[in-house]
Amino acid sequence: MAELNVEPKKNRPIWIWLVLALLALLAIIFLLRGCDDNDVDRDMDTDTTTATTAATTAGATTGGTTGAMDTDNRTATDADWDDIDRNAPVATYQEITDRDVTVRGNDEYAIYSVDETILFGTDSKEIRAEAAPKLKQVAQSLSQRYNDGQIRIYGYTDSKASKNYNEQLAEERAEAVRNWLTQNGNISADRITVHAVGEADPAATNQTAEGRQQNRRVEIVARRGN
């Protein structure tokens, strides 16, 4: 009877099992950390989205409010002056007797015009001494008829110099008139605003000396209070 030679089964070294167990442990740790990172990312994305949405909503709300306020301000201020007709009929005010002062308007507003040559010297922003009686009549009329209203002073020039120079000169002259009215005409400064138009809105042609003289002017516009 033949003999069967069976070799005994060899046991694997224990270190192999240790390595396999360590690798499995590392794999489990890696997977767990990956899940945690995903959760954190989702939380951060959610928080960021929520914050962005809130900020956008707040911005939209603020923007809407600001827009409404701008519209209200426009309605309450500038829009009230859009209906001023520079070619309104001449108004006769008994207190205005100086022929160098003209008044146009209606029951709601008045435009007092004084020729630039009466108020200022050439390229000057200093009010002439002889202009004082004319401005005094304007101040008295403003106090008598528009004591509770707002006043705007517009400065105009011809187009001979540069646009920037004309705007600066127009502003300085309008400022000089405002200062005179507040210091000598007893008109509160918070009722008066200055608007430098410069050469932008000519009353006549700039091609003739006569037209340029008409364009160099200061207009004092007053509205009745609400």
Report the predicted TM-score, pTM, of the whole model to 2 decimal places. 0.62
Those residues with Cβ within 8 angstroms of residue 170's Cβ, 6 or more apart along the chain or in another chain = 155, 156, 157, 196, 197, 198
Q: 3-state DSSP call for residue 84?
A: coil
Read off the pLDDT band of 125 (50, 70, 90): confident
Owner of token pair 């004319």: 134
Read off the pLDDT band of 151 (50, 70, 90): very high
Summarize the confidence of residues 141-149 as an average pLDDT.
92
Summarize the confidence of residues 31-41 as an average pLDDT.
58
- pLDDT score at 68: 33
Summarize the confidence of residues 10-33 as an average pLDDT.
72
- pLDDT score at 49: 45
pLDDT tens-place string over residues 61-108: 334 333 333 334 433 456 667 778 878 999 999 999 999 999 999 989
Task: Assess whether pLDDT exceeds 90 at residue 1.
Answer: no
Q: Where are the alpha helices (DSSP H) in 77-187?
A: 78-81, 116-119, 132-145, 163-184
Output the six-digit token pair for 223.
Answer: 């509205």
Strands 101-105, 217-223: pairing kind:
unpaired
Q: Rounded to the nearest 5 degrees, what angle is found at the Cα of 168, between the Cα atoms of 189 and 209?
A: 110
- pLDDT score at 115: 78
- Rounded Cα distance between 114 and 166, Å, is 18
The answer to whether the beta carbons of residues 104 and 91 sit under 8 Å apart is: yes
The more confident residue out of 79 and 128 is: 128
Nearest Cα residue to 137 out of 169, 172, 93: 93
Most confident option among 15-19, 61-65, 111-115, 163-167: 111-115
- pLDDT score at 202: 67
The more confident residue out of 81 and 42 is: 81
Task: Assess whether pLDDT exceeds 60 at residue 190.
Answer: yes
- pLDDT score at 7: 52
